[in-house]
Amino acid sequence: MNTTRTITLKNRPTGKPELTDFEFTTSEIPELKEGELLVSARYVSVDPYLRGRMRDVPSYVPPFELNKPIESGVVAEVLESKNSHFSKGDYVSGLLQWKETQTAKADGLIKVDSDKAPLSAYLGVLGMTGLTAYLGLTEIGKPKKGETLLVSGAAGAVGSVVGQVGKILGLRVVGIAGTDEKVEMLKSEFGFDEAINYKTTENMVEAIANSCPDGVDVYFDNVGGAISEAVLFNINKFSRTVNCGAISEYNNIELPKSISVQPFLIQKSSSMKGFVISDFADKHPEGLRQLTEWFNQGKLKYTETIKEGFENIPQAFLDLFDGKNKGKMIVKL
Ligand SMILES: NC(=O)c1ccc[n+]([C@@H]2O[C@H](COP(=O)([O-])OP(=O)(O)OC[C@H]3O[C@@H](n4cnc5c(N)ncnc54)[C@H](OP(=O)(O)O)[C@@H]3O)[C@@H](O)[C@H]2O)c1
């Protein structure tokens, strides 16, 4: 029987995850069954939401089990197929385990074409990341031409797409990110009208007011916490907040002490809505069609931070919490 390197969850992290929370093991590759594929991982996506799956609490996806492989979005090459829809040499994308080689059921995997886009893009702008940005903004943010869109986590995978979609839809777009280099990138490469470095800004309420002189109509929130509290002071009447992510809170051990949002929402007849991409599965095909069209027209750009080597997957994941990525964080095998 053949074996493969595998990464499992060794401990449920307390606070910020550490390398010692992961374990490299060797596992057996079972015999390929009818309908299945034998695949070899080429690009592995690491995502902030995986942190939530490391907690033993119910959520919109079940927690990872201790000493079992972690899984995330992966682009893999088909080495062997016992499924008539896939052939050796095809590339597939879907949720797979952190293993170099594995057998997988074909349902849930989609074929991706390396001639149409670089393979890694199917984990970013042409995958779940792009869909999260597009559907979160359009379905919950309900943007209207001429409005002001503010995006936190703007230089990351989702945020950089949100801002570009906002520009395509005719909005004024302002981003919030954690370095001057990211701020510059948002304006020069992704067409944001303004951007704020939250790490060097003392008064975020004032900085947002200066960058959004007409107030904030749509807030696409990837980070939560203090940044999002500052946004509340700048929201417009009938504004909408898309609660997509709250990375600033993911490693909290205690419940955060937040200001009360209700008075702000009431005063401005403003709404705030949680968003999970899997709730919009029926809209994924149309979303992917639109993203692909914009991508082919050169309207949607992307950037990625690529780490090399299976052994670097856990570190790439940890780096998300230190803002070491620009655009999508991906590990190439
Ligand atoms: N709801 C859904 O269906 C869904 C789907 C995908 C992603 N998400 C969420 O969307 C958000 C973005 O995901 P992504 O994949 O695009 O990740 P990402 O933005 O590419 O990477 C994470 C970024 O978050 C920023 N960050 C880290 N700690 C922070 C803190 N304490 N305060 C403020 N910013 C912090 C860092 O950038 P800086 O240098 O700017 O700090 C880092 O680069 C995450 O919260 C994720 O959980 C939700």
**Cα of 183 to ligand 1 centre, how many Å?**
15
**Residue whose CA is at the smallest distance from ligand 1 atom 30:** 248
Ligand 1 pocket test, pick from 158, 161, 302 with the greatest ligand atom count within 8 Å of Cβ, gives 158
What's the average model confidence in pLDDT over 73-92? 97
Q: Which residue has tokens 């417009």?
A: 236
- 185: helix, strand or coil: helix
Question: Residue 258 pLDDT more than 90?
Answer: no
- Confirm if 5 and 26 have CB atoms less than 8 A apart: yes
Q: What is the pLDDT of residues 113-169, one digit of tens each?
A: 999 999 999 999 999 999 999 999 999 999 999 999 999 999 999 999 999 999 999
Ligand 1 pocket test: pick from 47, 129, 139, 222 the residue with the most ligand atoms within 8 Å of its Cβ. 222
Do 3-124+303-332 and 128-278 fold alike per CATH? no
Mean pLDDT of 248-268: 93
Least confident of 36-50, 51-65, 167-181: 51-65
Instruction: Identify the pLDDT of residue 59.
Output: 87
CATH code at 128-278: 3.40.50.720
Ligand 1 centre to CA of 158 (Å) is 8
Helix, strand or coil for residue 310? helix
Q: In the CATH hierarchy, which fold is given to the domain comprising 3-124+303-332?
A: Quinone Oxidoreductase; Chain A, domain 1 (3.90.180)
User: What percent of the chain stands above pLDDT 90?
Assistant: 96
Ligand 1 midpoint to CA 5 (Å): 28
Nearest CA to ligand 1 atom 9: 245
Structural contact between residues 239 and 268, judged by C-beta atoms closer than 8 angstroms: yes
What SS3 class is residue 19? helix
Helices assigned H by DSSP within 213-268: 225-232, 262-267
User: Can you tell me the mean pLDDT for 199-223?
Assistant: 98
Mutate to test the pocket of ligand 1, among 129, 186, 231, 247 (most ligand atoms within 8 A of CB): 247
Q: How confident is the model at residue 311 (pLDDT cuts 50, 70, 90)?
A: very high
Segment 164-195, tens digit of pLDDT: 999 999 999 999 999 999 999 999 999 999 99
Q: What is the pLDDT of residue 14?
A: 92
Q: Cα dihedral angle (273, 276, 280, 281), rounded to 10 degrees? A: -170
Query: In the chain, pLDDT over 70 holds for what percent of residues?
Result: 100
CA of 159 to the centre of ligand 1 (A): 8
Q: Can you tell me the mean pLDDT for 91-98?
A: 98
309 — pLDDT class (breaks 50, 70, 90): very high
Amino acid code (one letter) for 209? A
Give the position, in ligand 1's atom list, of the atom nearest the Cα of 52: 47
Name the residue with the closest Cα to ligand 1, atom 42. 323
Specify the pLDDT at position 31: 95
Alpha helices in the chain (DSSP H): 50-53, 128-135, 157-168, 180-188, 204-211, 225-232, 262-267, 284-296, 313-319
Residue 254: pLDDT band (50, 70, 90) is: confident
Do residues 236 and 268 touch, judged by C-beta distance below 8 A? yes
- Ligand 1, CB cutoff 6 Å, lining residues: 47-49, 129, 132, 153, 155-159, 177-179, 182, 222-223, 227, 244-248, 275-277, 320-321, 323, 325, 329
Say what the pLDDT of residue 58 is. 87
Rounded-to-integer distance, Cα 253 and Cα 176, Å = 25
pLDDT grade, residue 90 (50/70/90)? very high
Q: List, for residues 29-38, the tens digit of each pLDDT value.
A: 999 999 999 9
- How far does the centroid of ligand 1 lie from the alpha carbon of residue 222, in Å? 5
- Under the banding of pLDDT at 50, 70 and 90, the label for residue 96 is very high
For residue 100 the two structure tokens come to 């170099």
Q: How far apart are CA 38 and CA 88, in angstroms?
A: 9
Residue spans per domain, the chain: 3-124+303-332, 128-278
